[in-house]
Amino acid sequence: MKKITVLTILALIVSCFIATAQKNKKMKKVLFVVTSHDKLGNTGEKTGFWTEELAAPYYALLDQGVIIDIATPKGGQPPIDPKSADPSSATEDTKRFDADKILLEKLKNTKKLADVNQADYDAVFYPGGHGPLWDLVEDKNSIALIESFYTHKKPVAFVCHAPAVLKNVKVNGQFLVKGKKVTGFANTEEEAVGLTKIVPFLLEDVLQKEGAIYSKGADWHPYAVEDGLLITGQNPASSKLVAEKLLAQLNSKK
């Protein structure tokens, strides 16, 4: 009887160990890279990251068991674009964000971009907002990080203005976007918000100049493009769609 009991206990321990190992093996880890820049050109107004573009992908991934770290060029609290925090821009995800003490605390203590290593993650995701146009586009750590993720065959995803950070990214001496299908905040959308003369460059124009095959959907409607490991979304409404495509790639890698 005692022998049977011992064997039963051992069997349970082994099965629990296997189940835990399988669970840990399946858990994926994604790095979010967020802007540290808060000045909207010379307008005197503030900018930063767009709440919906962080919140929607964050929860889409988190709710599927993905572990998420957040990094910024300066570390610490990244600036939030005030307009994205306005009640008129609210969504279910941003409301959840506003009440999420764990995420808000995580944002106060973001990792410094220079201290992160792609080897610790399965993919990288960049939310937009106008901030990245000024800092992440030129940030050497960001450029090197994207190159490293891509050359190690890991998904790289961007939404809205974030595809702009690909401007200086090269792989094997060629612009990463050359010959790739991409999207991003459209010129017509930039015109609609009245910032074509304020931003340092128009994202749509730069992507095409570097050889990307740019396309877009209707202004302000969900639209995302996937070309191999490269995933891009057009605007805030595309945030969750980008996350879904990223999740599908993560789940395909066992």
Grade residue 19 by pLDDT with cuts at 50, 70 and 90: very low
What does the pLDDT read at residue 253? Answer: 80
Asked if residues 162 and 130 have their Cβ atoms less than 8 Å apart, the reply is: no
Q: Tell me the pLDDT tens digit for each residue of 155-203.
A: 999 999 999 999 999 999 999 999 999 999 999 999 999 999 999 999 9
Q: Tell me the pLDDT tens digit for each residue of 157-167.
A: 999 999 999 99
Taking the complete model, does pTM exceed 0.75, yes or no? yes
